[in-house]
Amino acid sequence: MATNPGAPSGPLSRIASGGELSRFLLALKVCLTGDNAGKTLIFDEIDRGLGGATANAVGRRLSRLASGAQVLVVTHSPQVAALGAHHWRVEKSVSAGPSGEVTTSRVVPLGASDRIDEIARMLAGDTVTEAARGAARVLLEGADAA
């Protein structure tokens, strides 16, 4: 397989990055799936290194796949997150424990307004502005229209 035009062909395991391999597997899954009823598919940062229109295309493929299966996606992409039917934020904290530092993770389900704020944070970073919230609303409205 060749991952780019003009690139030499080679074994997929040698020439594809982790992100390219994940996207290749997503493409295969979308093309070859028949009945996915009752199946759960998990994709961890399948959109790594992507942005804009390409991340949106991956998100739409995942959304299409979710019409026949339960699909869980770990993402840092606001385009992909906006296309999900449900949205959770994973929070990690470090605190002092009896024998040193303890890292704790928790999963927080997001309602509609929290989802806007989270997608805005994904777009803008630590300082969420009204412009970022507006962009988040546009992404969510576009996802609803899809």
| pLDDT by residue, tens only, the chain of 146 residues | 777 788 888 887 777 777 777 777 777 776 666 666 668 888 888 888 888 888 898 899 889 888 888 899 999 999 999 999 999 999 999 999 899 999 999 999 999 999 999 999 999 998 999 999 999 999 999 887 76
DSSP-derived letter for residue 47 is T
- In the prediction, which pLDDT does 42 show? 86
Q: In this structure, what token pair is assigned to residue 98?
A: 């009896």
CA distances from 123 to 23, 43, 84, 131, 146 (A): 22, 21, 16, 10, 21
CA torsion, ordered 33, 84, 44, 30, to nearest 10 deg? 20
- In the prediction, which pLDDT does 105 show? 95
The whole-angstrom separation of Cα 97 and Cα 140 is: 40
Say if 122 falls within a structural domain. no
- In the prediction, which pLDDT does 36 show? 62
**Residue range of the domain that includes 33:** 1-85
Say if 118 falls within a structural domain. no
- In the prediction, which pLDDT does 143 show? 84
Q: In this structure, what token pair is assigned to residue 132?
A: 């970022």
Say if 115 falls within a structural domain. no
Q: Say if residues 136 and 82 touch (Cβ distance below 8 Å).
A: yes
Say if 103 falls within a structural domain. no
Say if 38 falls within a structural domain. yes
The residues, any chain, with a CB within 8 Å of residue 71's CB and separated by 6 or more, are: 40, 41, 42, 43, 62, 65
Say if 126 falls within a structural domain. no
- In the prediction, which pLDDT does 9 show? 86
How many domains, the chain?
A: 1
Q: Say if residues 75 and 51 touch (Cβ distance below 8 Å).
A: no
Question: Taking the complete model, does pTM exceed 0.85, yes or no?
Answer: no
Say if 2 falls within a structural domain. yes
- In the prediction, which pLDDT does 102 show? 94
- In the prediction, which pLDDT does 95 show? 94
